[in-house]
Amino acid sequence: AHDFGRLRADTLSLQMKMLLGDWQQHIADGMWYHDQRQDEVLLDPLFAAELLPLLVRHDRCAPRLALRPLPRIKQRAPEAVAALVADYEARAAEPGFRPVFGAPDFDAAVHAVADRLAADPAFRASAEPRHPDGPLVAVISRGAGPQDPSGPVDPSDPAGTSRGRSSRSLPERALVRQPSAADREALCARAWTELKAALRLWRPVSEDHIAPVSLLADPVLAELITPERGREILAMPRGAAAAGA
């Protein structure tokens, strides 16, 4: 179908390719504006809901010499599309901006998963192999403050240890286990189960919308959705089929 210039085939293929890995390269190649035949895609609800968030994120993250389709779209696409892009970029630049992934129930469920994942120290831990139980790190904390003046001061005990731990001014040490790669893997597995449950709430915005690819615009979710998990998303029922599942 692609060889015959079927735009619908290109749109479907782009969504599948992005979920199977290297979404930034695929969005750059697939959304490069060639001519007015692509206006049909840009004016479809799928563009505003799913592709535009990815284009904006790609434009911000891509290397300086990388293929960047967003400026070309703003220059050559219909005025309505350029206005849509400008509005989204303005909102995305505001403090506290959060992308919208779909209907309110789906959007809230997805953000809850991403927020919990991003807040967990295990997610920020390196994925490189470590000690199986995680390294032990010494954490130093200060004492409780000045010595208790209620008792006599023993010249042989200037630190005040004879009057209890509360009057110690020397540092105390504690061993805290840092998150390991195994902790991170287990955390992501739990988050993936939660995200799959949330995906039951997703609904397409058009007949060409086969998956919520805008999830990849969130850096936390983009890391969570591996190519294998992307295949799972593509295999899930959608629309009315999902509602009856």
Domains identified in the chain, total number: 1
Give domain status of residue 134, yes or no.
no
Between 144 and 103, name the one with better pLDDT: 103
Give domain status of residue 83, yes or no.
yes
Q: Which amino acid is present at 126?
A: S
Spatial distance between the Cα atoms of 174 and 57, rounded to a whole number of angstroms: 42
Give domain status of residue 135, yes or no.
no
Per-residue pLDDT, 136: 39
Per-residue pLDDT, 13: 95
Give domain status of residue 55, yes or no.
yes
Give domain status of residue 175, yes or no.
no
Between 173 and 233, name the one with better pLDDT: 233
Let me know if 89 is exposed, middle or buried by CB neighbors in 10 A (0-12, 13-18, 19+).
middle
Residue 137 has pLDDT above 50, yes or no: no
pTM over 0.85: no
Give domain status of residue 156, yes or no.
no
Residue 53's closest CA among 164, 212, 165? Answer: 212
Give domain status of residue 63, yes or no.
yes
Q: What percent of the chain has pLDDT over 70?
A: 73
Residue 164 has pLDDT above 70, yes or no: no
Give domain status of residue 220, yes or no.
yes
Per-residue pLDDT, 127: 42
* Full domain range(s) for residue 64: 2-102+202-243
Q: Give the contacts of 71 (CB within 8 A, at least 6 positions apart).
A: 59
SS3 string, 73-116, reads HHHHCCHHHHHHHHHHHHHHCCCCCCCCCCCHHHHHHHHHHHHH
Residue range 146-150: mean pLDDT, rounded: 48
